[in-house]
A = this chain, B = another copy of it.
Amino acid sequence: MSKHYNVYPIDGGVCAPNGFVADGVAAGLKKDNALDVAFICAKEGFSVHTLFTSNTFAAAPIVHFRQYVAGKQSNFILITTKNANAMTGKAGVQDICEILDALKKRFSWVTNPIMSSTGVIGVRLPKEQIIQAFEKFSFESSKDSHKRASDAIRTTDAFSKEIALEVELENGKCFRIGAMAKGAGMIAPSLATMLCFITTDAPIPAEHAQKLLQQYAKKNFDTISVDGDMSTNDSVFLLSSGKSEAYDEEAFGMALDTITHKLALDMVRDGEGASRVVAFEVKGARDEAQARCAAKALSNSLLVKTAIFGGDPNWGRIASTIGASGVEAREELLSISIGGVLVYDKGDIVFTPEVEAKAHKAMESAEFRIVCDLGIAQGAYVSYGCDLGHKYVEINSDYRS
């Protein structure tokens, strides 16, 4: 039987858990004095657990972390935008060492600092600008500092993404978990950088941390991005200060699931130029792997994405995409509904003008569901995607964007 615990949404983002301070400052990396350098720190230290990109060309910050920090207690993450420090080779890692040495020199309590970056690929970091920004750092917690941090990590994100929860266990003790993320760009095929920083005061055992990250964070971010098709910089950090006495594996897993599901959906909502978010639910597949394969094919199909942009209930493109995905399927067992309207029913063409009008109307919602029941067995998967319209082309074709 499931245990009882109470979950309360709270303010504070990554600063909500006990022990953490975060802020964002303007270093002149972005235009118009916008916030562009952020940090998260906990003077008494935190343990670090990570999920990194599977891209062969992992960026310098990831190479640096693996080489110098992995397995150690840290107390500082420095986050910079506009430049991904990717494809910069050994020089890129050396740049990080120099920046972090300057950080340790400026703030002597900093131990095993971590750097995380997002932005354009193949350009050396503007070291001096970043180092000069240290002068603006303040470690006094203030009401809005977490907002400035989540604002500073945005690139083409239209809005900042953060969340925090307090979880009360059966024994009355509480732990907190907070997070901020960035990741607009194309949702899938995703090469936009996804960065997610999760803080908690729960004393999570190392052996649980990695398992729960895989089980919940990876699962939720996978529903919105293609397997293996990750950017050079994608990173999820889970930082635990251990300042609370409360911990329960199930409760923590649930909280991590809630938080990463919310941030994943925020990323889809904020997909570059996206006007509609669609949940592609495939059920009745031979197994979950086949359901996933078909759901991913739908959320990645250009023809499906452009039809959604146009509000066109073009179920033929949906059927054809499922057929092309190679999963086991039969016309006479398949049914398709769009926004709750049945448009294809096990071999029967039920797409009358009335049905078409209803489905077209349902597609005017900002968020709706396309359900494909393969009618074979019990495999199910939901993938989240968005439409593709002119704004996406504009954002991504701007010369020197």
Contact = CB atoms under 8 A, between A and B. Distances in A.
Contact of A396 (B303, B323, B400): B303
Contacts of A319: 57, 86-87, 121-122, 232
A159 interface: no
Contacts of A331: 57, 87, 89
Interface residues of A, number: 65
Given A87-B331, A316-B86, A320-B55, A302 B189 contact: yes
Interface string A314-354: 01110111111011111110000000000010010101000
Interface stretch (A138-146, A223-231, A257-265): A223-231
A264 B173 CA distance: 67
A88 B344 CA distance: 11
Contact of A307 (B84, B228, B307, B397): B397
Interface string A269-308: 0000000000000000000000000000000111100110
A331 B87 CA distance: 7
A309 B397 contact: yes
A108 interface: no
Nearest to A332: B89
B231 A301 contact: no
20 contacts: A54-B326, A55-B320, A56-B322, A56-B324, A56-B327, A57-B320, A86-B316, A87-B316, A87-B344, A120-B316, A186-B302, A186-B303, A189-B300, A228-B324, A229-B324, A302-B396, A310-B398, A310-B401, A312-B400, A390-B390
